[in-house]
């Protein structure tokens, strides 16, 4: 592996050499549970071999569909929430320039890819419809069940717009569905309407789905070479599933973050120094949070974008509670650079930077932050990425997927379920009056009434005490 590497050198004051040796037997057990399928819910590890063992015929259909979208649409609306959109959004930001989404149509070679169904904001959808305007567009709706509230609402809205613009029959040709192979509401719609469709494999959960049709169709439609992306992931699969701890950065990442977690560093901040890596952190937060946050355990995932957030979060990181660890994703070869201009005066105090480049300054900011934060008691790890190519991203995706899954097993956690996600949904369905949730709605109303009564009693007692 050459494009992604792990650097633990800044942990020297936080982890003793013997600690890595002491966790190694448990780490190897966790790795074996994942690789050999002996851990809990092993049927959900299809992503582990996906980069090499994927449906080649469907992969070709994805590329064909992407070409069709490129030929007839200025905009692709991707409808999904959670893993059904974060992976694609992360990849598009990582692989395109910072203002890719706002580039005018006459200056872009591929469709603008925009996302819907990831919130319940009427204002967002209104603004999105306004952004599309009278331009030609297609829709890719992504949902395993087809009944998730946010994307279901969005699909109804954008399907109606398609029919109004193109008519019933032509609208069907602009709808691409990514869903379960056999079951679910969307699969029934595919059968009824003849939509082009792609399959979310049974053994892949949403947060591990970016390298299946969930992510691949939007990524391909944006003009990315998905063969290169999958090759990077395939080489990573060969490497991370076979190499021992001493050579394996993903295993080292899993080991060190668990050593630190056991010492009270319960929050991990994923950081970057390139603005178009912001959604890499958003994708990683779901991957880490849903994989590890169970049974009152798990490292809390958060993120920061440097140097920007050094002027807002920097004070807390430097001198706040000492429960933070930092992982920096560092691009070794950014795609572009800009010189610091010479002006002939030093009114702004940066004459000493003349002749330097912005990337040089960014590099020194990175080095100085590592030094300051480690001196301040915050352990730092670095994931070095050679460049922002599709191949490197494929490697990076697999690095984090593998490392986080091993980390969960290492902590005695099922990496592949997310039982807590359903709790808010049940309450929302009850409050919205969804059939079948009448008893829960009644209980919520009883609890609310009891809470109001208690507050009224406490208020009256406070008044009497004041008298």
Residues designated catalytic: 290, 425
- In this structure, are residues 265 and 234 in contact, taking their beta carbons and an 8 Å threshold? no
- In this structure, are residues 87 and 209 in contact, taking their beta carbons and an 8 Å threshold? yes
Residue 342: name the closest of 330, 354, 332, 352 by CA: 354
Buried b (16+ CB within 10 A) or exposed e, 16-54: eeebbeebeeebbebbebbbeeebeeeebbbbbebbeeb
- In this structure, are residues 135 and 166 in contact, taking their beta carbons and an 8 Å threshold? no
DSSP string over 300-317: EEEEEETTGGGGTTHHHH
Please report where in the chains the tokens 């039982």 appear, as a residue: 419
Buried b (16+ CB within 10 A) or exposed e, 432-453: eeeeebeeebeeeeeeeeeeee
Q: What are phi and psi of 214, to 5 degrees?
A: -50, -50
Residue 282: name the closest of 87, 414, 133, 143 by CA: 87
Buried b (16+ CB within 10 A) or exposed e, 209-223: bbbbbbbbbbbbbbb
As a whole number of angstroms, the distance between CA 255 and CA 258 comes to 5
Beta bridge partners of 112: 75
CA 357, 358, 361: angle at the middle one, nearest 5?
95
- In this structure, are residues 370 and 328 in contact, taking their beta carbons and an 8 Å threshold? yes
As a whole number of angstroms, the distance between CA 198 and CA 220 comes to 14
CA R_g for the chain: 25
As a whole number of angstroms, the distance between CA 437 and CA 428 comes to 10
Please report where in the chains the tokens 């790890």 appear, as a residue: 381
As a whole number of angstroms, the distance between CA 390 and CA 394 comes to 6
Residue 278: name the closest of 119, 89, 124 by CA: 89
């Amino acid at each position: 592996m050459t494009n992604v590497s792990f650097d633990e050198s800044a942990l020297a004051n936080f982890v003793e050499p013997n600690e890595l040796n002491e966790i190694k037997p448990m780490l190897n057990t966790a790795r074996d549970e994942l690789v050999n399928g002996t851990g809990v819910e092993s049927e959900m590890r299809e992503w582990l071999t996906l980069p090499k063992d994927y449906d080649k015929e469907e992969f070709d259909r994805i590329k064909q569909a992407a070409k069709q979208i490129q030929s007839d649409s200025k905009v692709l609306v991707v409808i999904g929430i959670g893993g059904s959109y974060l992976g694609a959004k992360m990849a598009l930001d990582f692989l395109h320039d910072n203002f890719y989404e706002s580039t005018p149509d006459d200056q872009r070679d591929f469709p603008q890819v925009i996302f819907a169904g990831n919130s319940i904001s009427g204002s967002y959808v209104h603004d999105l419809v306004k952004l599309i305007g009278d331009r030609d567009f297609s829709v890719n709706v992504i949902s395993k069940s087809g009944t998730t509230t946010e994307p279901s609402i969005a699909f109804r809205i954008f399907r109606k717009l398609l029919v109004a613009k193109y008519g019933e029959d032509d609208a069907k040709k602009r709808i691409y569905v990514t869903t379960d192979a056999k079951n679910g509401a969307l699969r029934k719609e595919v059968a009824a309407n003849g939509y082009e469709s792609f399959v979310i494999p049974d053994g892949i959960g949403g947060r591990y789905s970016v390298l299946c049709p969930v992510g691949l169709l939007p990524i391909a439609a944006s003009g990315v070479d998905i063969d290169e992306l999958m090759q990077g992931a395939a080489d990573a699969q060969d490497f991370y599933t076979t190499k021992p701890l001493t050579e394996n950065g993903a295993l080292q990442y899993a080991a060190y973050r668990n050593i630190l977690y056991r010492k009270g560093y319960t929050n991990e901040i994923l950081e970057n120094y390139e603005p178009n890596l912001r959604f890499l952190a958003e994708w990683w937060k779901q991957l880490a949070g849903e994989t590890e946050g169970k049974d009152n355990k798990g490292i809390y995932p958060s993120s920061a974008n440097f140097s920007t957030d050094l002027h807002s979060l920097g004070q807390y990181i430097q001198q706040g509670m000492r429960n933070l660890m930092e992982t920096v994703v560092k691009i070794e070869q950014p795609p572009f650079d800009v010189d610091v201009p010479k002006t002939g005066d030093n009114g702004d105090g940066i004459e000493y930077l003349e002749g330097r480049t912005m990337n040089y300054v960014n590099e020194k900011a990175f080095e100085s932050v590592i030094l300051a934060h480690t001196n301040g008691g915050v352990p730092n790890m670095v994931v070095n990425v050679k460049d922002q190519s599709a191949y490197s991203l494929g490697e990076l995706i697999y690095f984090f997927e593998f490392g986080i899954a091993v980390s969960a097993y290492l902590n005695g956690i099922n990496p592949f379920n997310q039982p807590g996600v359903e709790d808010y949904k049940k309450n929302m369905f009850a409050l919205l009056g969804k059939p079948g949730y009448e008893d829960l709605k009644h209980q919520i109303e009883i609890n609310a009434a009891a809470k109001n009564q208690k507050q009224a009693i406490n208020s009256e007692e406070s008044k009497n005490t004041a008298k």
